[in-house]
Amino acid sequence: MPFPSRFKHCPHCGAAVDYRVPPDDNRERAVCTACDSIHYQNPLNVVGTLPVWEADGRVLLCRRAIEPRLGLWTLPAGFMELGETTAEGALRETHEEAGAQIELLGLYSLLNVVKVGQVHFFYRARLLSPRFEPGPESLEAQLFAEHEIPWDEIAFQTTRETLTRYFDDRRHGRAFALFSADLH
């Protein structure tokens, strides 16, 4: 998943764009050669959860039914949409990908993934039921104890970092303080 592809045409009028530095700016932008409008491309937010079934401490992972990383395991997460908060997006993605009923706890990890222009947010969550209904983007949704986590089949580094930190915090009886990291 590289940076979003560069604009070739103006989304307002359809004419070709040119890449140049607009007045009072300091980086190249897509500037329309016909209507002069300027089009910015910026990082995207990915929002998700780390859902835990508290009766036995197992965590929920989903196996991806879509590219990229089809067949690998991930925490439920996806792109934040207009009209929702980061927490609402995390809840929505957990419903869509796992069909899981959860209660959100605090924001737990905030991970910059610079090379793909993304910021990932994971909230801790309490599962209200151990029954799931995987959506079209998931092959299956399953609970894993720490020793069962398929570490060799994890789809994304942000899932790996969040799970690793979580089990470490839990093992040491630490509070689940916000964990920030930059993945270059």
Judged by CB under 8 A, does residue 87 bind its own copies? yes
- Cα separation, 110 vs 96, in Å, equals 21
Judged by CB under 8 A, does residue 169 bind its own copies? no
Judged by CB under 8 A, does residue 3 bind its own copies? yes
Using CB under 8 A, pick the residue from 1, 18, 85, 128 that binds its own copies: 85
Minimum distance of its own copies from residue 102's CB (angstroms): 18
- Cα separation, 180 vs 184, in Å, equals 13
- Cα separation, 22 vs 82, in Å, equals 27
Judged by CB under 8 A, does residue 104 bind its own copies? no
Q: By C-alpha distance, which of 98, 75, 86 is closest to 160?
A: 75
Cβ neighbours of 143 (radius 10 Å):
18
Using CB under 8 A, pick the residue from 42, 55, 56, 173 that binds its own copies: 42
Minimum distance of its own copies from residue 151's CB (angstroms): 26
Q: By C-alpha distance, which of 107, 109, 112, 89 is closest to 43?
A: 112
Judged by CB under 8 A, does residue 81 bind its own copies? yes
Q: How far is CA 107 from CA 23, 61, 139, 143, 177, in A?
A: 39, 18, 27, 21, 8
Judged by CB under 8 A, does residue 129 bind its own copies? no
Positions in the binding site for its own copies (CB under 8 A): 3-5, 7-17, 24, 26-27, 30, 39-45, 79-87, 96, 107, 110, 112, 114, 117, 119, 136-137, 178, 180, 182
